[in-house]
Structures are given as C-alpha cells and as structure tokens.
C-alpha cells in the first residue's frame, strides 16, 4: 500500500479526496492536514461534512496535522486541495522533501517542468517528472487541470483525429466549483452569473498545454484556440458545456470517433468503464441525472449535431477535481513513478 | 382608445398581456378569451394568477369568452397568446373578419406576407400589412418572434453597422418560457436540460427573416448564419445568451455601437428608456437582478470582450412575449395602421 | 427466490421499486407493468429514467406487461406503485387471484382487514392477513402508509413508552412526493406551497390505525390526535417534519428512548443499521445531507428540545414509499406469510 | 421634510431602507453610513446593489459617511441596519446626541425603556419614548422586532379578542433573512436547515413584550407562551409560518376577527391597504406569489382551519425589517414625537 495524505482535507475538494480514498485498494490514507486552527483536533470534530454520502467514520479519529513538510514527509504521496496562495510554496517544499504531490491547485499547472495531466488525454506528459528529478528535486509535482478545462479536454480528445483550430465553449457551472462557502445563496438562487474569475483564461491556456506535444523535455502547446464564456448556474454539482469545434467531416465520422475512444490504459481503480460516453437521447446529458455516471468519472457527450456542436458534462468535484488527482496518482503508480 | 382583447388570457403569456394592458394609455381591454371550459365564467374564477404582481382586480369580473370570431369581431385589435395548434386557424379567421391581430404564436411568423417584427430592429417590415390588405384581408396579422430570438436580434441590431456572417449563441433559458405547466420541478431542480424542442431552429430561421431587407413586398433573408445551442436552467424569468459574432473591429468600436444604439421611434408607452443597455460591471447582466430593467423591456448586454463575445439578457415573458406584442401594437398604432 | 413484479413501474415510485429490487437477495424481479400505451415494449424504451442512480441495464429488455391479473398471476408477490384510482380494483383482483400485494397506493389502507404496516412500528398487524385469508381471499393485500405519515410514526414509535395525547406536526415535503410530473417548476421555485391535497387528513387518520392495537382481528385506533400542517418546499427528496408532542418528562428520558429504540427484528435485507437515528448536532438533520442515511431507510431525529419539540427527516420515495413496501414484503417473507 | 439617514446602508436591509426612502413623501434621505472601508466614497461605488428593483440613481452620488455621531448629528432621525455588535453602542450614542433612532438591530429591543413596536399591534408602547426622555436622553431609540416575530405578532393581533395561552409556530424562512452573504448556496440548495441561531428565542421573548401591556412606564409581558421551531428553506424572500393557537371558538368567529382587523391609524405613507389580509383560496398564501402584497407590507393569512391552525406570510426584509422601521418612524412622526 502507498502511504498517502490529503492537504486541505476539510474543504469541498478535500472532503471528496477523503471520500474517494477511504477504501482505496492501492492507497492507505493516514494523514489529513488543515489550517493551524484545526490542527491537533480530531478530523470528525473540525470537518463540517457536507457531502451527501455518509461521513467515512474510520477516518474520524485521525488527528488533523498542520500543512507542513514534517507532517507529511514520511508519506509516499500527498493530494493537495489547498488554495493556490498556500499551495505554491508548500507543494514545492513537500516535493523537494521527497514526497510526490498530486495537486488540484492551480499554482504549478503552467510551470514548464510540471505535468498538467488528464490520464486519458496526455499520460505521456508524466515524463516531465524525470525533468523535475533531473533538476534535483527528490519528489515531484503532478497537477490536474481546472474543472471545466478537464471536461473540455476530455470531450476534445476523441476529436484529435480531425484537424481543428477554433473551439468555442459556453459553460454552465455548478456552485460546488467555488467551494462550500464560495457562492452565497442570494447570489445564485433563480439566477445565472455570467462570470467566474479567471475561469475563461484557465480554460484557454490550460487546454493548449494539456493537448500539446512533449518533445525534448518540454511541452509544445497545441495550436488550436479556445474562446470560452463561463457562467455559474443554480446547480449543485456538474459542469455542462456547450461546445463548437470547426470540424468539417460528416457527423457519422464524429460519432464514430466518440464511440471508439478508449482510455490508453486499464485497470486503474478509479477509472470508469467509459471515460467518454456518447448519449443518443435528444435531451441528455443533464447535470443532475448524468453527473454521477461512472462514479462521477465519466464525461458524457450529447446533442451531437452539425456545426460541429455538442454538449459535454462531467462531475466537477470528482472528475473535475479530487477524482482527477486520484486518477493521476493511480496512473503514476501504474507507471512506477512511485 | 383602441378596443383590444386577449386570446388565451389564462396562461402564462396571457396573464402577462392582462398585466401590461391593465392600465394602458392607448388600449382599452374589454375581451378575454379562453377555452370552452372557462367561457362564460368570470376571469377571476378561472385564472390561476401566478405572476408576482397583484391580480388586476378591475378585470376580474370580465366574463371570459370562447376563442371565436364573434367574440372579438367588434374589437380593433386582439393580442394572441394561443398555442400554435389553435392559433393557425383562429388568427387567420379573426384577421379576415377585419380585426388586427398581434400574435405571440409561431403559426404565422414565417408566412411571406406576415411581418415578424421587433420595433427597434425592423419596423419597416410592417409594410407587409399592405400586402395582406391587397390580398383581400380586412384585418391583418403581425407577429413577434420567439423569446430567445428577440434577445438575440436586439443584441445584433447595433452590430449591423459591421459586416458579420457567423453567429453562435448558447442560451440559458428560464422555465417560464415553457408556460406555467411546461417544466416539471423534478425535471429542472438542480439541473440543466440541454434541449428545448425546435428552439434552435426558430432562432436560426426567424433571425434571418427579422434582419432581412424588405423589397418589392417581400423580405429577403439576411445572409448571416446562426448556430444555436439552447439550454433550460433553473431560473424563473429571464433568458441569458452567450453570443459569439465574427466581427473583427476594435472592441471600442463595438462598445460605441452598443452605446449609440437607439430605437428609431419614441413615445410608445411600453418603450423603455434604453432598448439596449450596455453594462460595464464585470459580472452583469444577471438573470434575476437585471431581467426587470426598463420594466422588463430592456435587453441588457455585458461582458463585451474580444472574440467577439458578449452576453445578452432579457425578460422572456415581457420583452420576449407579451411585451413584444404590445410594443408591436403600439408601433402599429403610431404608424396609423389602426 | 420469491418471484415478484412491479405494478406501475414507469413512474417515480415505480422506478424506485425497480432500483431497490434490481439486486435483491430474496426477490427475483421478472414482471413490470404499465399502462396499455407502454405494454408490449421494452422497459428501457418506455421508462423515462429520472433517478440519479444509473438505470439498471439488466431489466431494460423486460417486455412491459399491461396491469392485469393474467400478467402477474404466476408471481408470488407484486409491489404496487399504481395511482389510487386504478389500484382499488386491480389490487383487489390480483390478491383474489392468489398473489400477495404490497401496495404503496392509498386505496386499501383504511380497510379494516388490510394491515397498514411499518415494520418497526406495528409488525403484529400483519395478523390481519389471516383475516383476509379467512374471508376466502387466496392472496392478500398489505399496505404501507403515506410518506409523511411514515416519518411521523417512526418518530413517535420510540415515544410510546410515555403517555401522550396531542401531536402537532408541520411538514416540509419534497417535490418528488407528487411524482415526476406532479409539481410544475413555476409553482415551487423560490416558493413554499402550504397545501398538499388530503395529506393532512392522511396523516391524521393513518397514524391512528398504525399505532392502534390489534385485538380480535381488528385494529383499535390509538387515542392520540394528530394536527398536521403540510407544506411543499423546493427540495427534491426528503420530508422534514417539525413535531410537537405533549410529553412532559425530562429531555434526558426522551433522548434515552430515541437512543434505545431498535427494530423488533433483524436480518431483513433493506433494514438499515439504525431505523431511527438521533443526531446531536444543532443544525441536523438536513434534507439533502441526511435523506440518504441508511440507504434512505433511516429516519433521522434532531433538535430535541423541551416543548417537547424535535424535527424528523426521512427519504420520501425510499423509506416513505418503495422502500417501505419492500421492507413490508421482507417482513412478510420472514414471517412465512409467503 | 424630516431629515433622515441610514446606518449600515450597503447591506441587505440597508439597501431596502434606501429603496423605501428614495421617494418618501415625509423623509428626506441625505446621509448613508457604512464601514470605514467605504466611507468617503460614492454610494454607487461601494454598494453591491442586489435588489431586483433598479438602483435609485439619485442617491448614487451621496458620499458615504462613517457610522459615527458627528456624521448624523444634524439629522432628525436615523434608521439603523447595523449588526447588533456595532449597534449597541452607536445607537446609544446617537440617541444621546439628540437624534431619533429607528433600529432594526436586536441590541436594544429588550431594554425596559425602549419600545419594541409594530404599529398595528402596540402603537401605545411609543410612550416609552417619554421614559427615555425623562432619563435625560436627548433623542430616543425605537426598535422593531425580529422578522419572523413580526409576522407572528401581526397574525396574533386580530386574535387578542379571544383568550389564548399556547402558541406553536413552525417557520419556513427565506435566505435573505441572513443577509446577502449569510447562507452559502451549497448549504441551502435542495435543502431545509432546521436551525436559525437564536431565532426561536427571539420569537418567544419578543412576542411577549410586544403584546404586553404598558403601565406605569413599564411593559408587563403578555402571559401566553410561544414554542417556535425555525427552519431555513430555499426561498429568496418571504417568511411563511404554520401557526397553532389554543383558541376554542367557532372558525367563523376567527374568520370574522381576521376580516375586521384594521390598523388603529391611517394615512401613513408605507401603510398597506390591508395590514392583515385573509386569503380564502385553499393553497394560499405562497411565499413567491404573495410576499409582495401591499408593497411587501401586508401579512397574509390563509388555510384557516380548526385546531386552531393557519399559515401566515410576510416579506421578511420589507415588513420584517426595513419597512417595519420606516413604518415605525412614520407613526412616530404622526404622533409628533419628532
């Protein structure tokens, strides 16, 4: 068993990490960190568990640690659900101390030697780990993209067989994406907010790195351009995207591309049966009904029609955050990086 | 005072008509029609008033009429909130009986001699009324577009000064657009439904007629193409649109175009101070906060950014339905067609 | 394995039955009935699956039967999710044909020889089955109470050790209780509806039968009186009740009564670890966070305070409907009635 | 014109004050205070206007003042929307400086010489102003009750003609009651929270003072007891209450009492046509449809039935907060206290 911990275990993404790791066949969760205020107390006493799955009682008695290097240095790997302003330094320190870091924070995503990975899309980017090692780091950092970027790149991955240059995407994003306290009810009830800070920029930048090509220890950005319009809607979980891609081949070809897409690996515990699933019903996928497909790890495509237009949906705190990071860790393990 | 009536006065749009006409300075509302089941009873006893403005008590004692020619033939004009399957014949019959019909139904929108009008966008299309008259019809039919089409065309009108060919639009539409009973709560709570029957087709067809040019008694369709993706979100009123237009001029020019846009008329009672309003705050317009601007008749633009991308918002049952029809009637009156 | 079927398998409660029976260790589901319109087609093609758990694919190819005696007469037991107006006759016919009926419909609940059972509350009422048999019926009918009545009686069961006469209960009920199409979104978004047809009457009548005493083949109603005020709130699943009971003993006694309450049986497959669970956190139970406790079969109590006041919560379509019926069937089986 | 100001003008209640005072016939609004951070800036630049009525542009250029005595000492009266921890001292200081204070804060509500007033219920309590004056205070403080207490007392006022001792009330309260930032969307979407800190205690204490009798410069508490159970529901505005009162007279008598209730004054600008309105439809009042009756100042009663049970509804930030305070000020003015 790989010894793992969760940095920032009390927040929305932190709780998802604990849920997903509670009975993991490869990873043994033994360290949970939080702010100084919570350190030294039992996890059950400081976490305000707000997921609609039951609290994993076995972990309730773990004494919460501060988010420091000593607290985690005996672990093999930590998952980071830290806010970016804290993550930047701590993740760097921890990785230098010889621990692998799988981070959901944005701090290191765009660093040239840090892989920004979606296992089904660019597993080969993990080779950047060697670049980090070569630079004298004992451990390493691997990041997963921003939640809505993940859904977009998963949806674009099957389409790489066609040439395309322009991607337009309008997102309808869930409130959980902003954390438990992020969106006041007064702000979103009976409302759409057509703005999420830096979200469009993240989608536009990160997708070019993820779908770029690795060569000579560097990622060459993909050449397509993404133009995003991001909106918050009154949905608890699940980001739904309306996507336009300038692909000019018969719809049947595109359908085939989606149907024949498979993950380039198998046997990872969190891997869903279908990473990308095409639904043929005219009114699917829908946020509430389909976000939990594949345990929240499947990205569902629907309404494929000429344009080329389609919609894509994924669970933002599972496939789009904690689950993304855990799947990355599983890939790392299967590739023997740890 | 012009004598007017409302066809289909008990539904969601019908109630909005009654609200808007209750104290209208030009129009005197005296006839309300509904299904046979309701005919002969007092309006207050058959309407299930569900607007959040108080019921207009003065109209409660009106005896509801059946939706027939005799019931309205003494009126100058009727507003139609009928479902399309009923509207097709009844509106035709009523207009042949010498009564003007301002209809929110889709039945006659695409008929070559029926104006499909947004007063601020294509008032000159009213000249088709003469084509109808020439064909021996005593009255006439004027239609307003589908709700989301109105918001789109209002947003595009100021941009006609630039050349553009491609419009992409993702809508986030309110549940009231489907009528009071149209969307079950179980279908939309905590959910997005990425499909509204025929909505995308309506937006794509109607906008080309509205923004087309009238010549020789016929409308020549505009040449641009709209590619729409329509979604229902858990919002009560207000359609929000994310729009891309292939305009390649400096943003400042586009901003100027929005700011300098004015209705080509003035003095209509329902006309808002600004038909199209540009908001500069980074997170506006928002559905709940801005749908009532200009009494629900203003279309608000925001998030103008290169791409060219922006969002547009309007109240779907006021500017997008009943208010659209009443404003058409006011324009018709000011142009002396009645 | 007991051969079972579901009557009315396409509706909200019908789908829950299929979900709960899909992998049941005792019951083998082979017949699904629906209206004539759906009969003869595959279940997957006629059901509009709207639960947020995945569709049970194994049952998708079952050819839907009409809701008739011949369709189910070879089964040991059927679960009924029929509307009352259909259930009255069909359930009677089926039970006379020798099939056991576990019904969620209200049709036969108050019939003197039909047990109205909550396994944890009045399992002994199953003895009425013998009364039915004695009257010449080959099969029998067992009913479960109305959803909000179940939550109330589960909450009152531990308190039977104290004398009480007056119960007041204000309910905050989920929209799923009215079926998928029952509540229009326009009716309930941003709203509370302080009225649910016949719900208060059901709570007031049914609870007296359930908690009554069986003697001489008849149920003598309990003597307490329930005064209910029922409200629909914008919640998808989960009925929350604010309850007052005129019990005048120290709170600590009441707490003990809740904590020491146990189901008078064990080993039933759908039985939760705790049938009634007392939460001590000041702001729990909450509808979304706690409705799925015990797989949706636990009724959670909270905010116990002098008055005597407390709140109770349960999942209305699981513990309050399909799960109630399945647990009844499990009890029936364990008692060897089938 | 009476010169007035608003303390804490940027929050949810503060914005309501500005809305209600913007065009008030008696009061001239000239001072808006907020925290030090906002002081010195234009109101339009520091307020995040989130009401769904348009921002009152005329007041946008007012330079926000700090919440201090000098900022308001030239005014006749200030309205306080301050949080309690700030209000305690500032309101005291301001009233000693000779300014009348109408406060929505809880700080001074239970002070023996401070009137806790609902104009329709206990206008005579204003006589406590003289007690304050006698104790050497130049100005005075008048408070309005907590929002849900107001709805309850308005509903009980017509029933004072009958003897009653026990009141039970279950509230279904809107999220705006906690301020714009008070309730995270993740906490309340698809949920009921059966707890609002100190709300039950406020209802139980304040109602006894409000409905108490003034004698010898002191309020003798009413003798009835209130037992409250308070719940937050996903509603934007409007508190709905299910009420039980132990009144044992024919329903028709109670109905008459509600119908014949009138405010003991007339001509106050904010006073609605009916302070308490009885609706006879079986499913009214409803939060969204009826909260705006009487401009948000009417408390609507419905579902009157034996028990004695009924529901009551009022707009929590208008009748329950800012409007309550303004109506108090209007009463004060009409009684010549200022």
- The strand pairing partners of A193, in sequence order, are A232
- The strand pairing partners of C7, in sequence order, are C33, C80
Cis? peptide before B308, omega within 30° of 0: yes
Q: Tokens 């007690």 identify what position? A: D131
Residue A292 and residue C53: Cβ atoms within 8 Å? Answer: yes
Q: Is the pLDDT of residue C248 over 90?
A: yes
Residue B53 and residue D292: Cβ atoms within 8 Å? Answer: yes
Residue B54 and residue D293: Cβ atoms within 8 Å? Answer: yes
Residue D134: CB partners within 8 Å, gap ≥ 6? Answer: none
C189 classed as catalytic: no
Q: Using alpha carbons only, how large is chain D's radius of gyration in Å?
A: 19
Asked if D174 reaches chain A (Cβ–Cβ under 8 Å), the answer is: no
pLDDT of residue A50: 85
Q: Is A230 exposed, middle or buried (0-12, 13-18, 19+ CB in 10 A)?
A: buried
Give D178→chain B minimum CA distance, Å.
Answer: 19
| Mean local confidence (pLDDT), C211-224 | 96
pLDDT of residue B43: 98
Asked if C216 reaches chain D (Cβ–Cβ under 8 Å), the answer is: no
Residue B303 and residue A229: Cβ atoms within 8 Å? Answer: yes
Asked if A13 reaches chain D (Cβ–Cβ under 8 Å), the answer is: no
How many Cβ atoms are within 10 Å of A313's Cβ, its own excluded? 30
pLDDT-wise least confident of A281-290, D51-60, D294-303: D51-60
Tens-digit pLDDT profile for residues B210-222: 999 999 999 999 9
When pLDDT is cut at 50, 70 and 90, the band that residue C52 belongs to is confident
Chain C's closest residue to D290, CA to CA, is C191
Asked if A48 reaches chain D (Cβ–Cβ under 8 Å), the answer is: no
Q: Are D288 and D267 in contact (CB under 8 A)?
A: no
Residues in chain A: 338
pLDDT of residue A53: 85
Q: Tokens 């869903």 identify what position? A: A272
Q: How far is it, in rounded angstroms, from Cα A231 to Cα A219?
A: 30
Q: Which of B289, B34, B5, B319 is nearest to B177 (CA)?
A: B319
Tens-digit pLDDT profile for residues A26-69: 999 999 999 999 999 999 999 998 888 889 999 999 999 999 99
Q: Which of B125, B312, B285 is nearest to B221 (CA)?
A: B125
Residue B252: CB partners within 8 Å, gap ≥ 6? Answer: none
| Mean local confidence (pLDDT), A174-203 | 97
Partner residue facing C54 (CB), from A190, A288, A293: A293
Identified catalytic residue from C108, C125, C147, C153: C147
pLDDT of residue A230: 98
Q: Is the pLDDT of residue B37 over 90?
A: yes
Q: Is the pLDDT of residue B77 over 90?
A: yes
Asked if D57 reaches chain B (Cβ–Cβ under 8 Å), the answer is: no
Q: How far is it, in rounded angstroms, from Cα A197 to Cα A177?
A: 12
In order of A258, B1, C323, the CA distances from A297 in angstroms are 16, 64, 28
B315 classed as catalytic: no
Q: Are strands A77-80 and A100-103 parallel, antiparallel or unpaired?
A: parallel
Residue C189 and residue B236: Cβ atoms within 8 Å? Answer: yes
What 3-state class would DSSP assign to A200? helix
Q: What is the DSSP letter of A271?
A: -
Give B173→chain D minimum CA distance, Å.
Answer: 18
Domains and CATH numbers, chain C: 2-146+321-334 (3.40.50.720), 147-315 (3.30.360.10)
Q: Is C283 exposed, middle or buried (0-12, 13-18, 19+ CB in 10 A)?
A: middle
Structure tokens belonging to residue B140: 């006439």
Share of chain D above pLDDT 90, in %: 97
| Mean local confidence (pLDDT), D306-316 | 97
Residue B224: CB partners within 8 Å, gap ≥ 6? Answer: B164, B165, B166, B167, B208, B211
**Mean pLDDT of all residues belonging to chain D:** 97
Asked if C105 reaches chain D (Cβ–Cβ under 8 Å), the answer is: no
Q: What is the pTM of this model?
A: 0.96
Residues in chain C: 338
Asked if A236 reaches chain B (Cβ–Cβ under 8 Å), the answer is: yes
Q: Are D119 and D268 in contact (CB under 8 A)?
A: yes
Q: What is the distance between the terminal CA atoms of chain C, rounded to a whole angstrom?
A: 11
Tens-digit pLDDT profile for residues D56-75: 999 999 999 999 999 999 99
Q: How far is it, in rounded angstroms, from Cα D86 to Cα D101?
A: 14
Give A280→chain C minimum CA distance, Å.
Answer: 13
Q: Which residues of D are catalytic?
A: 147, 239
Give D234→chain A minimum CA distance, Å.
Answer: 8
Q: Is the pLDDT of residue B52 over 90?
A: no
Residue B52 and residue D292: Cβ atoms within 8 Å? Answer: yes
- The strand pairing partners of D141, in sequence order, are D101
pLDDT of residue A188: 97
pLDDT of residue A312: 98
Asked if B218 reaches chain D (Cβ–Cβ under 8 Å), the answer is: no
When pLDDT is cut at 50, 70 and 90, the band that residue A328 belongs to is very high
Q: Are A59 and A29 in contact (CB under 8 A)?
A: yes
Tens-digit pLDDT profile for residues C289-315: 999 999 999 999 999 999 999 999 999
pLDDT of residue B50: 85
Tens-digit pLDDT profile for residues A208-254: 999 999 999 999 999 999 999 999 999 999 999 999 999 999 999 99
Handedness of CA B33, B37, B43, B46 (dihedral sign): negative
Q: Which residues of A are catalytic?
A: 147, 239
Tens-digit pLDDT profile for residues C65-122: 999 999 999 999 999 999 999 999 999 999 999 999 999 999 999 999 999 999 999 9
Tens-digit pLDDT profile for residues B242-270: 999 999 999 999 999 999 999 999 999 99
Q: Using an 8 Å CB-CB cutoff, list chain A residues near B236.
A: 190
pLDDT of residue A249: 95
Q: What is the distance between the terminal CA atoms of chain D, rounded to a whole angstrom?
A: 11
H/E segment holding residue D101: strand D100-103
Q: How far is it, in rounded angstroms, from Cα C8 to Cα C104?
A: 11
Give D183→chain A minimum CA distance, Å.
Answer: 6
Choose, out of A48, A52, A185, A294, the residue to mutate when testing the contact with C (most C CBs < 10 Å): A52
Residue D240: phi and psi, rounded to 5, are -110, 135
pLDDT of residue A73: 96
H/E segment holding residue D166: strand D166-173
Give B195→chain A minimum CA distance, Å.
Answer: 5
Partner residue facing B189 (CB), from C12, C179, C234: C234
Q: How far is it, in rounded angstroms, from Cα C39 to Cα C68?
A: 11
Q: In what order do the strands lie in the sheet with B140-143?
A: B65-66, B27-34, B2-7, B77-80, B100-103, B140-143
Identified catalytic residue from B147, B153, B230, B315: B147
Interface size B-D, in CB pairs within 8 Å, comes to: 21
């Amino acid at each position: 068993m790989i010894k793992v911990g969760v940095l920032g275990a009390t927040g929305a993404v932190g709780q998802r990490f604990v849920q997903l790791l509670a009975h993991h066949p490869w990873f043994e969760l033994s360290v949970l960190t939080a702010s100084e205020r919570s350190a030294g107390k039992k996890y059950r006493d400081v976490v305000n568990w707000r997921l609609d799955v039951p609290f994993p009682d076995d972990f309730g008695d773990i004494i919460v640690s501060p988010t420091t290097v000593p607290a985690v240095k005996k672990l093999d790997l930590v998952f980071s659900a830290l806010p970016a302003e804290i993550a930047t330094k701590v993740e760097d320190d921890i990785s230098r101390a010889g621990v692998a870091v799988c981070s959901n924070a944005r701090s290191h995503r765009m660093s040239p030697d840090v892989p920004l990975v979606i296992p089904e899309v660019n597993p080969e980017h993990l080779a950047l780990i060697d670049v980090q090692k070569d630079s004298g780091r004992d451990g390493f950092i691997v990041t997963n993209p921003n939640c809505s970027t993940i859904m977009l790149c998963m949806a674009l991955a099957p389409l790489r067989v066609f040439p395309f240059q322009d991607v337009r995407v309008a997102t309808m994003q869930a409130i959980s994406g902003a954390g438990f306290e992020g969106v006041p009810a007064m702000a979103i009830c009976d409302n759409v907010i057509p703005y999420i800070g830096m979200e469009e920029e993240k989608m536009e930048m990160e997708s070019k790195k993820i779908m770029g090509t690795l060569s000579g220890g560097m990622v060459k950005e993909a050449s397509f351009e993404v133009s995003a319009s991001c909106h918050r809607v009154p949905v608890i979980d699940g980001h739904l995207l309306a996507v336009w891609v300038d692909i000019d081949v018969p719809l049947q070809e595109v359908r085939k591309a989606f149907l024949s897409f498979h993950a380039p690996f198998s046997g990872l515990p969190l891997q869903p049966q279908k990473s990308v699933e095409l639904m043929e019903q005219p009114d699917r996928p829908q946020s509430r009904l389909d976000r939990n497909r594949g345990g929240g790890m499947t990205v569902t495509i629907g309404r494929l029609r000429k344009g080329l237009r389609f919609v894509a949906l994924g669970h933002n705190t599972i496939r789009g955050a904690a689950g993304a990071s855990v799947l990355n860790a599983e890939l790392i393990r299967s590739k023997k990086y740890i």
